[in-house]
């Protein structure tokens, strides 16, 4: 029987004495595209760090690909919320990806010949071969995200954790990143956890939504999770859900809560 991609059994996660998730149980099947959503501070980043073995559960059991947590698991790739430095922006695309192959990503090292092959393969998989010779400073946000995804694909992971990859991208580039990740997820048959502040850019790609809030979690289809009663529990306030022209609006009174969170964004917990 195929192991679950992610399994939480009565898991509690704490950070600096604060409870982030409380007694959460859920299971994610392999090969799913999961949108991870929730208000600021709900624990999207903490959950991903827990899957990486960096935040051990205070209670309960968390398993990844049927195995106990381990730090540096080569079967998991992680794209954190990043801000590139001036020095990094001077790197050519290929050198930027190569830096991960030489030891700056979650995975195992390779002999030199295999490093070259892995980098070429990863660039081709995300359609970034033509970006290899260009410095990052000359690339658009969407093009830089392709190179970051190429870094993640080194070592052929089974799970891809993407922490807010749409931040600072315009709607066109957001759409391109989501379409690329969905295509990779289906072609490579990997599991994707894709965190975001807004649901709508992900709607065409999602298999399920994992919504976090007030220490709780809800996992299921968009129609099952994105409802007034479920989100009211997760936000701890009355929430209404409105659907218009293929878009979904999560409202608290007259305010669209996801849009407000995006505009006032700071790094999530």
Give the total number of structural domains in the chain.
1
Does pLDDT of 164 surpass 90? Answer: yes
More confident residue, 2 or 210: 210
The contacts of residue 25 (CB under 8 Å, 6+ apart) are: 8, 9, 10, 11, 60
Residue-wise pLDDT tens digits, 192-232: 999 999 999 999 999 999 999 999 999 999 999 999 999 99
**Residue-number span of the structural domain to which 137 is assigned:** 81-157
Closest CA to 74 of 147, 4, 158: 158
Residue 16, in any domain of the structure:
no
Does pLDDT of 268 surpass 80? Answer: no
What does the pLDDT read at residue 107?
A: 43
Residue 104, in any domain of the structure:
yes
Residue 140, in any domain of the structure:
yes
Residue-wise pLDDT tens digits, 127-149: 999 999 999 989 998 999 999 99
Count how many Cα atoms sit within 13 Å of the Cα of residue 72 in the half-sphere of its side chain.
5
CB atoms closer than 10 angstroms to residue 168 = 11
Residue 239, in any domain of the structure:
no
Least confident of 8-12, 85-89, 151-155, 210-214: 85-89
Residue 132, in any domain of the structure:
yes
Residue 133, in any domain of the structure:
yes
* DSSP conformation class of 111: -
Residue 62, in any domain of the structure:
no
């Amino acid at each position: 029987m195929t192991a679950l991609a992610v399994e939480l059994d009565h898991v509690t996660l704490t950070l600096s004495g604060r409870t982030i998730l409380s007694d959460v149980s859920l299971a994610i099947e392999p090969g799913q595209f999961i949108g991870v959503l929730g208000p600021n501070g709900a624990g999207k980043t903490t959950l991903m760090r827990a899957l990486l073995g960096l935040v051990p559960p205070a209670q309960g059991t968390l398993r990844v690909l049927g195995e106990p947590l381990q730090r540096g698991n080569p079967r998991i790739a992680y794209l954190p919320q990043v801000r590139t430095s001036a020095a990094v922006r001077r790197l050519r695309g290929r050198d930027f990806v190569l830096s991960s192959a030489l030891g700056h990503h979650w995975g195992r090292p390779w002999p030199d010949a295999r490093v070259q092959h892995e980098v070429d393969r990863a660039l081709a998989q995300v359609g970034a071969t033509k970006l290899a010779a260009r410095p990052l400073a000359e690339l658009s946000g969407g093009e830089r995200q392709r190179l970051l995804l190429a870094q993640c694909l080194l070592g052929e992971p089974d799970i891809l954790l993407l922490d807010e990859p749409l931040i600072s991208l315009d709607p066109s580039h957001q759409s391109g990143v989501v379409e690329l990740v969905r295509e990779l997820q289906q072609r490579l048959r990997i599991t994707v956890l894709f965190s975001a502040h807004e649901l709508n850019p992900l709607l065409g790609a999602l298999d399920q939504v994992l919504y976090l809030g007030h220490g709780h979690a809800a996992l299921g289809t968009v129609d099952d999770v994105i409802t007034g009663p479920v989100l009211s529990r997760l936000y701890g306030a009355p929430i209404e859900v409105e659907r218009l022209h293929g878009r979904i609006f999560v409202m608290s009174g007259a305010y669209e809560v996801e849009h407000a969170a995006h505009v006032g964004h700071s790094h999530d917990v």
